[in-house]
Amino acid sequence: MIPVLGYEEQNVAILGLGRSGMATAKAVVAGGGEPICWDDSVEARAAAEAEGYTIRDLSKAGAFDDIAVLVASPGIPHLYPEPNKVIQAAWMAGVPVDNDIGLFFRSFGSGDWMDHDTPPRIIAVTGSNGKSTTSALIHHILTSTGTPSQLAGNIGRGVLDLDAPEDGEVIVLELSSYQTDLARSLTPDIAVFTNLSPDHLDRHAGMGGYFAAKRRLFAEGGPDRAIIGVDEVEGQYMANQLVDSFADGRLIRISSGQKLKGAGWNIYAHKGFLSEWRKGRQAGSIDLREIAGLPGAHNHQNACAAYAACRAIGTSPKLIAEALHSFKGLPHRSQIVGEKDGVRFVNDSKATNVDAAAKALQAFKSIRWIAGGMGKDGGIAELSDHLGAVQKAYLIGFSAKDFALQLGDTPYELCDTMQVAVTKAAAEATHGDTVLLAPAAASFDQYPNFEKRGDDFIAQVEALL
């Protein structure tokens, strides 16, 4: 556990008693503070009360009279699409509002572990797509090469649940826009920006607000080194703002699909090969084409980001290359579920938006595509240029009919359920085909989350195999 420091003998209000909220309460107690808890859920309040925590309705008048700080769960919208009433009450009472990420950064730099011979470092990863794979890949490389590491944030454990770090340890955090938007302290040693595509626009009141939430990781605290994906204009803009010259070693630019030139530190993937260039000279190269856990150009971008982060802390290119080959990938992200008679089955249930689905559709040559769910604004119209490898689409869920209208000449079939879609796709697939689940939609019409949707795909495939 990482004790929350700076609130000894003070009341810390906690709004939202899910995983992060309960971990925060424990960490506040460990740091000598007193958690005051609230959640709209009766069950959540009862569970917290059973743990011995004080429950207070934070929506009542005067609720913040003796509160030092309000810690809100990242999942609770605070400003858009409309202000949360409890959070707004804290604003009006002059009480600072933070989240567990802000408390973590505030407390981490003051712990006893800073007396280690080699103080622990933090690598934080954000972006629209690929941040989970990138974070897990960094963690895998570090542990494979003998560097102690823990993985937390939007993946794995909550940040305040982390163990006290060892000498020389590297903490890898995946941070969503929900987490970076509200945190009052963001001070990683290395910060990674993978890419940007439209997502969570209602929460951030549009694309500008969404980008601003991501940018806070770089602008608020100023990491010692920034790794920026420059395949979108937002990344190009941010890379330009962070340093006076690309020759500044504090910036590493990464790309998938374009060769990066200049005297700075550049890492890119082109035609399946990762290349590192520094001060005008090539410093490393890796053939990514045969790494089973990293299929497609989008995963090559993830490999570039992870490679850059590990090079930034001094890991050699040779050791990174060895570790990349042993990476198995993450569940629900281009996950190879099985193969039969030359037909592969790939679970990319995490492809919940069109940009992620486009990257998945470009990773394979002959595709039986399972798509659909709760479609987002615009449906799949933007995928029209990425359907060349799709032999047929098998559409499921609420938006199946709407998706069908946007497929142009691509053959399709309305299947409604995952079981029907997998059965029909498998029956029609031939040697060399890939049956790919890349929904390009949220899961909430049929499943509680994308993980359960992916689990259903896996179960149907396993039943066939």
For the annotated binding site, the residues are 127-133
d(CA 316, CA 237): 30
Query: Residues comprising the binding site for ATP?
Result: 127-133
Provide the 10 A C-beta neighbour count for residue 285: 12
Q: Could you tell me if 309 and 227 are in contact, meaning their C-beta atoms sit under 8 angstroms apart?
A: yes
Q: What is the CA radius of gyration of the chain?
A: 23
Name the residue among 265, 374, 365, 274 with its Cα closest to residue 318: 274
> Three-class SS string for the chain?
CCCCCCCCCCEEEEECCCHHHHHHHHHHHHCCCEEEEECCCHHHHHHHHHCCCEECCCCCCCCCCCEEEEEECCCCCCCCCCCCHHHHHHHHCCCCEECHHHHHHHHHCCCHHHHCCCCCEEEEEECCCCHHHHHHHHHHHHHHCCCCEEEEECCCECHHHCCCCCCCCEEEEECCHHHHHHCCCCCCCEEEECCCCCCCHHHHCCHHHHHHHHHHHHHCCCCCEEEEECCCHHHHHHHHHHCCCCCCCCEEEEEECCCCCCCCEEEEEECCEEEEEECCEEEEEEECCCCCCCCHHHHHHHHHHHHHHHHHCCCCHHHHHHHHHCCCCECCECEEEEEECCEEEEECCCCCCHHHHHHHHCCCCCEEEEEECECCCCCCHHHHHHCCCEEEEEEECCCHHHHHCCCCCCCEEEEECHHHHHHHHHHHCCCCCEEEECCCCECCCCCCCHHHHHHHHHHHHHHHC
Q: Cα-flanking dihedrals φ and ψ of residue 333, to 5°?
A: -135, 95
Q: Could you tell me if 365 and 342 are in contact, meaning their C-beta atoms sit under 8 angstroms apart?
A: no
Which single residue is written with the structure tokens 């053959």?
A: 411
